[in-house]
């Protein structure tokens, strides 16, 4: 209370002084402009009472001063008195319609209040007055992104970054938009540049991790998620994403530890609990996974994905009755979820209800037209019934949607064989065998790469190079095999061949760059 009384007394004294000046000595416009400039510096330094006092003194002498009203708006905005700030900014614009800063700050406050359409209009007015106004371009771009106007946001944020290339946050938002549009290479480049200017911008590390994860660079993604958490251990999205990336890499134990830490801090974090359940299933602990999914359905009884995952875990434990109940609940909660009718169809097929299962497989690919597995299962039911023409149609549709399905080629061959088409069956069986070998070779290549990395840890460079070459022989499209061979060759001094392998790795996976390359 004493601080409030002191401020009122100070304003009153300044107003009286202003009145006395107007009665005797009139301040020049230059003096008043200098006072406002001083007030703006005080507001920027968080000396808000002094700034407000100056604004009131100026208004006592010059009531039509738009900048004085703008200064009061800045004070009220910083005090989080948004209604007063809006009134002050509108008063400023009534007196100075071309005051771009007032349009920008009014837009910012309106956005904070949830009036995003009005906010966008104010930012656009500010830019129309001054196209080179960075703050307005940045605020407009971020608000367009927030309102899911992604194409417009990218253009505006691109202009903001051009105006101020070193502004980390503007480049960060631009990268988010680029990632949402699927332009991962550009997004990764901008996120790396953003972090060059602001290394402790934890959300940028999280977004970079997500972009690297989407591009297939799990190791790079994990490193970025760890950096984000080192800066801010409370970042739940970074922790959840780290757990998911570890799970995708096969590190189930560390994934579970990471996800449990997120849940301990944020018990209602749905995605983390779903991912923990998946990690437990990956580890083979179906009972623990079921417990996590049950807890999630208790906390969030409208979550279709939780009921679906619960049904999947119960199915794998052969608890078909409970699995059916959970899967039907998932279908009821989300009529667009294609996995629920598919998995329920498999449950019904396994329990001898093929006719009901067939209807569910049709439901599944009605929800997802390119659902190859649903066509395959429907074909399997037709084949078991002896409806070979129907079965052939479904197996051929499966292969059209997923040409790499060895199982579909095998089933196609069996159906053709039953139709006495020996030549067609032979062709289908040969393709199934080829695809099975490709799949086995790809898996063997992954093992060879891992073996090569183990040799590197033991400083056995020659053996490591041999393992990486073996991986490439097994699977010429394994980007990591080319990349690791390039690194090993560079260590051995074979620089020409190393450069060639780097080029192949980069072509197969653009995120793979030599360690000394620019972002």
CATH value at residue 477: 1.25.40.10
What pLDDT is stored for residue 33 in this prediction?
A: 86
The SS3 assignment for 136 reads helix
- pTM assigned to the model: 0.76
Q: Are 26 and 60 in contact (CB under 8 A)?
A: no
Buried b (16+ CB within 10 A) or exposed e, 444-482: ebbebbebbeebbeeeeeebbbbbbbbbbebbeebbbbb
What pLDDT is stored for residue 250 in this prediction?
A: 81
Which class for 148: exposed (0-12), middle (13-18), buried (19 or more C-beta within 10 A)?
Answer: exposed
Positive/negative CA dihedral, 199, 201, 202, 203: negative
The contacts of residue 362 (CB under 8 Å, 6+ apart) are: 374, 378
CA 111 to chain centroid, in Å, comes to: 23
Tell me whether residue 227 is in a domain: no
The contacts of residue 36 (CB under 8 Å, 6+ apart) are: 54, 55, 58, 65, 67, 68, 71
Question: Which structure tokens are listed for 312?
Answer: 């999947």
CA 113 to chain centroid, in Å, comes to: 25
Which class for 83: exposed (0-12), middle (13-18), buried (19 or more C-beta within 10 A)?
Answer: exposed
What pLDDT is stored for residue 514 in this prediction?
A: 78
Q: Are 330 and 305 in contact (CB under 8 A)?
A: yes
Instruction: Indicate the angle between helix axes 422-457 and 406-418, nearest 10 degrees.
Output: 160
pLDDT in tens, 382-428: 999 999 999 999 999 999 999 999 999 999 999 999 999 999 999 99
The contacts of residue 200 (CB under 8 Å, 6+ apart) are: 231
Tell me whether residue 21 is in a domain: yes
Question: Which structure tokens are listed for 229?
Answer: 């958490």
- Which residues of the chain are under the pLDDT cut of 50? 1-25
What pLDDT is stored for residue 516 in this prediction?
A: 63
Q: Are 179 and 209 in contact (CB under 8 A)?
A: no
What pLDDT is stored for residue 276 in this prediction?
A: 95
Tell me whether residue 39 is in a domain: yes
The contacts of residue 16 (CB under 8 Å, 6+ apart) are: none
CA 149 to chain centroid, in Å, comes to: 16
Tell me whether residue 467 is in a domain: yes
Question: Which structure tokens are listed for 491?
Answer: 């260590």
Question: Which structure tokens are listed for 195?
Answer: 């972090």
Domain boundary residue, one of 46, 73, 96: 96
What is the number of residues in the chain?
A: 519
Tell me whether residue 345 is in a domain: no
CA distance 57 to 54: 5
Domain that holds residue 472: 449-508
Tell me whether residue 488 is in a domain: yes
CA 466 to chain centroid, in Å, comes to: 38
What pLDDT is stored for residue 22 in this prediction?
A: 40
Tell me whether residue 272 is in a domain: no
What pLDDT is stored for residue 518 in this prediction?
A: 53
Tell me whether residue 499 is in a domain: yes
Domain boundary residue, one of 96, 112, 140: 96
Question: Which structure tokens are listed for 135?
Answer: 């703050």
Closest C-alpha among 129, 132, 157 to residue 145: 157
The SS3 assignment for 147 reads coil
CA distance 172 to 205: 10
CA distance 277 to 296: 10
Domain boundary residue, one of 44, 61, 96: 96
Total domain count for the chain? 2
């Amino acid at each position: 209370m004493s601080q409030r009384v002191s401020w009122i007394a100070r304003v009153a004294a300044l107003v009286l002084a202003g009145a006395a000046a107007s009665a005797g000595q009139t301040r020049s416009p230059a003096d008043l402009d200098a006072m406002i400039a001083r007030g703006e510096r005080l507001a920027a330094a968080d000396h808000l009472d002094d700034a407000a006092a100056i604004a009131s003194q100026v208004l006592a002498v010059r009531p039509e001063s738009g900048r004085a009203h703008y200064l009061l708006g800045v004070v009220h905005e910083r005090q989080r008195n948004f209604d007063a700030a809006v009134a002050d900014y509108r008063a400023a614009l009534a007196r100075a319609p071309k005051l771009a800063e007032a349009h920008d700050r009014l837009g910012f406050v309106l956005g904070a209040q949830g009036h995003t359409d009005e906010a966008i209009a104010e930012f656009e007015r500010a830019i129309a007055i001054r196209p080179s106004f960075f703050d307005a371009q940045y605020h407009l771009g971020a608000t367009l992104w927030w309102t899911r106007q992604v194409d417009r946001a990218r253009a505006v944020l691109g202009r903001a970054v051009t105006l101020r290339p070193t502004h980390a946050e503007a480049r960060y938002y631009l990268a988010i938009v680029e990632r949402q549009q699927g332009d991962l290479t550009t997004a990764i480049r901008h996120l790396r540049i953003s972090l060059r200017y602001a290394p402790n911008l934890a959300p940028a590390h999280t977004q970079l991790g997500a972009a690297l994860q989407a591009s297939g660079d799990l190791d790079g993604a994990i490193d970025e998620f760890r950096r984000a958490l080192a800066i801010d251990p409370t970042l739940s999205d970074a922790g959840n994403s780290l757990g998911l990336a570890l799970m995708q890499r096969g590190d189930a134990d560390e994934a579970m530890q990471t996800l449990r830490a997120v849940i301990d801090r944020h018990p209602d974090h749905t995605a983390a609990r779903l991912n923990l359940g998946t990690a437990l299933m990956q580890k083979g602990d179906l009972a623990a996974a079921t417990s996590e999914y049950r807890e999630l359905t208790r906390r969030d009884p409208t979550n279709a994905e939780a009921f679906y995952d619960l049904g999947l875990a119960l199915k794998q434990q052969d608890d078909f009755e409970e699995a059916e109940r959970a899967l039907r609940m998932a279908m009821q909660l989300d009529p667009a979820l294609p996995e629920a009718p598919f998995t329920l169809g498999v449950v019904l097929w396994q329990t001898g209800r093929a006719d009901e299962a067939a209807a569910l497989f049709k439901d599944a690919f009605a929800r997802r037209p390119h659902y190859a597995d649903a066509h395959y299962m429907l074909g399997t039911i037709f084949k078991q019934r002896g409806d070979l023409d129907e079965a052939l149609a479904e197996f051929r549709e499966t292969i059209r949607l997923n040409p790499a399905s060895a199982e579909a080629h095998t089933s196609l061959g069996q159906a053709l064989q039953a139709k006495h088409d020996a030549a067609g069956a032979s062709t289908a069986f040969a393709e199934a065998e080829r695809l099975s070998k490709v799949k086995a070779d790809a898996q063997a290549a992954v093992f060879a790469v891992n073996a090569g990395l183990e040799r590197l840890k033991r400083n056995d460079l020659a053996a490591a190079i041999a393992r990486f070459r073996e991986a490439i022989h097994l699977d010429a499209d394994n980007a990591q095999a080319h990349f690791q061979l390039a690194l090993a060759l560079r260590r051995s001094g074979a620089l020409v061949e190393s450069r060639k392998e780097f080029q192949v790795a980069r072509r197969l996976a653009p995120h793979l760059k030599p360690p000394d390359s620019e972002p």
